[in-house]
Chain A
Amino acid sequence: MTTVTEHHQVSPQPDALATTVVTSWKAPIAFAVFTLAALALAVFAPREGDTTYRLNASDKDAIIIANISVPAMPALWVVVVLLLLATAFSVWLVTQKRRVPLWLIVVFAIVFLFGFLTWAGAGAMLPMINLLYGSLSLAVPLIFGALTGVIGERVGVINIGIEGQLLAGAFTSAVTASVVMSSTGSVGLALLAGVIGAMVAGALVGMVLAAFAIKYFVDQVIVGVVLNVLVTGLTSFFFSQVLAPNAAVLNSPPRFPRLPIPLLSEIPIIGPVLFRQTLIVYLMYIAVIVVFIGLFKTRWGLRLRAVGEHPQAADTVGINVNRTRFWNVALAGTIAGLGGTFFTIGSGIAFNKEMTAGAGFIALAAVIFGGWDPIRATLAALLFGFASNLQNTLSVIGSPVPSEFMLMLPYLVTIIAVAGLVGKVRGPAAAGKPYIKS
Chain B
Amino acid sequence: MSEPQPKTSTTPRDTTTVPAQAPEPSRWHQTFQKITTGNALISVLSVLLALVVGAIMIAFTDEDVQKAAGYFFARPGDTFVAIWQSVSGAYSALFQGSIYNFRRDSFAAGIKPLTETLTFATPLIAGGLGVGLAFRVGMFNIGGRGQMLIAASVAGWLAFGFELPWGLHMLVALVGGLLGGALWGGIAGLLKAKTGAHEVIVTIMLNFVAFYLVSWLLRTPGLLQAPGSSNPKTPPMKDTAIFWNLKEYGYNLHLGFLVVVAATVLVWWILSRSSLGFRFRAVGENPNAARVAGINVPSIYVYAMLISGALLGLAGVNQVLGTVTTGFTAGIDAGVGFDAITVALLGRSTPWGIFAAGLLFGAFKAGGYSMQAAEGVPVDIVLVVQSLIVLFIAAPPLVRTIFRLPDPSRGPKRPRPIVTKEVTAK
Which among A364, A408, A418 is the interface contact of B213 at CB below 8 angstroms?
A408
Q: Which residue of A lies closest to B381 (CB)?
A: A237
Interface centre among B191, B197, B202, B391 (most CB of A within 10 A): B197
Q: Give the docked Cα–Cα distance between A336 and B18 (Å).
A: 55
Q: Which residue of A lies closest to B376 (CB)?
A: A241
Q: Give the docked Cα–Cα distance between A362 and B388 (Å).
A: 25
What count of chain B residues pass the 8 Å CB interface test?
48
Q: Mark A215-247, 1 if CB is under 8 A from B, else 0.
A: 111110111011101101110111111100000
Q: Which residue of A lies closest to B142 (CB)?
A: A361
Interface centre among B195, B385, B398 (most CB of A within 10 A): B195
- Residue A424 at the B interface, CB < 8 A? yes
Nearest chain A CB to B373's CB is how many angstroms away? 13
Do A216 and B212 touch (CB < 8 A)? Answer: no
Q: Give the docked Cα–Cα distance between A246 and B208 (Å).
A: 35
The stretch of A60-68, A113-121, A409-417 in contact with B is A409-417
Given the known A-B contacts A212-B394, A233-B381, A236-B380, are A241 and B215 also in contact in the complex, defined by CB atoms under 8 Å? no
In the bound complex, residues from chain B placing their C-beta under 8 Å from that of A236 are 378, 380, 383
- Residue B397 at the A interface, CB < 8 A? yes
In the bound complex, residues from chain A placing their C-beta under 8 Å from that of B209 are 408, 411-412, 415
Do A415 and B200 touch (CB < 8 A)? Answer: no
Q: Which residue of A lies closest to B390 (CB)?
A: A226
- Residue B140 at the A interface, CB < 8 A? yes
Q: Mark A234-277, 1 if CB is under 8 A from B, else 0.
A: 10111111100000000000000000000000000000000000
Do B202 and A229 touch (CB < 8 A)? Answer: no
Do B208 and A230 touch (CB < 8 A)? Answer: no
Q: Which of B183-205 contact A (CB under 8 A)?
A: 191, 194-198, 200-202, 204-205
Which among B191, B213, B380 is the interface contact of A240 at CB below 8 angstroms?
B380
Nearest chain B CB to A417's CB is how many angstroms away? 9
- Residue A419 at the B interface, CB < 8 A? yes
Q: Mark B154-173, 1 if CB is under 8 A from A, else 0.
A: 00000000000000000000
In the bound complex, residues from chain A placing their C-beta under 8 Å from that of B206 are 411, 415
Given the known A-B contacts A26-B195, A361-B142, are A436 and B4 also in contact in the complex, defined by CB atoms under 8 Å? yes
- Residue A343 at the B interface, CB < 8 A? no
Given the known A-B contacts A26-B195, A222-B345, A415-B206, are A402 and B216 also in contact in the complex, defined by CB atoms under 8 Å? yes
- Residue A365 at the B interface, CB < 8 A? yes
Nearest chain B CB to A228's CB is how many angstroms away? 8
Measured as residues with beta carbon below 8 angstroms from the partner, the interface class of chain A is: 35 or more
Q: Give the docked Cα–Cα distance between A43 and B208 (Å).
A: 28
Q: Which residue of A lies closest to B214 (CB)?
A: A404
Do B204 and A404 touch (CB < 8 A)? Answer: no
In the bound complex, residues from chain A placing their C-beta under 8 Å from that of B216 are 402, 404-405
Q: Give the docked Cα–Cα distance between A12 and B345 (Å).
A: 43
Do B383 and A369 touch (CB < 8 A)? Answer: no
Given the known A-B contacts A225-B341, A365-B204, are A424 and B196 also in contact in the complex, defined by CB atoms under 8 Å? yes
Do A230 and B391 touch (CB < 8 A)? Answer: yes
Q: Mark B376-408, 1 if CB is under 8 A from A, else 0.
A: 011011111111101100110110000000000
Given the known A-B contacts A241-B61, A361-B204, are A419 and B378 also in contact in the complex, defined by CB atoms under 8 Å? no
Q: Which residue of A lies closest to B396 (CB)?
A: A216
Nearest chain A CB to B393's CB is how many angstroms away? 10
Interface centre among A226, A234, A364 (most CB of B within 10 A): A226
Given the known A-B contacts A218-B394, A361-B142, are A237 and B384 also in contact in the complex, defined by CB atoms under 8 Å? yes
In the bound complex, residues from chain B placing their C-beta under 8 Å from that of A134 are none
- Residue B1 at the A interface, CB < 8 A? yes
- Residue A190 at the B interface, CB < 8 A? no
Add 17 more A-B contacts to A369-B201, A415-B197 (CB < 8 A).
Answer: A212-B394, A216-B395, A223-B394, A225-B342, A226-B394, A229-B383, A232-B380, A232-B383, A233-B384, A237-B378, A364-B201, A365-B204, A408-B209, A412-B209, A419-B197, A419-B202, A423-B196
Q: 6 A-B pairs, CB-CB below 8 angstroms?
A: A236-B380, A237-B381, A365-B204, A407-B212, A411-B205, A419-B195
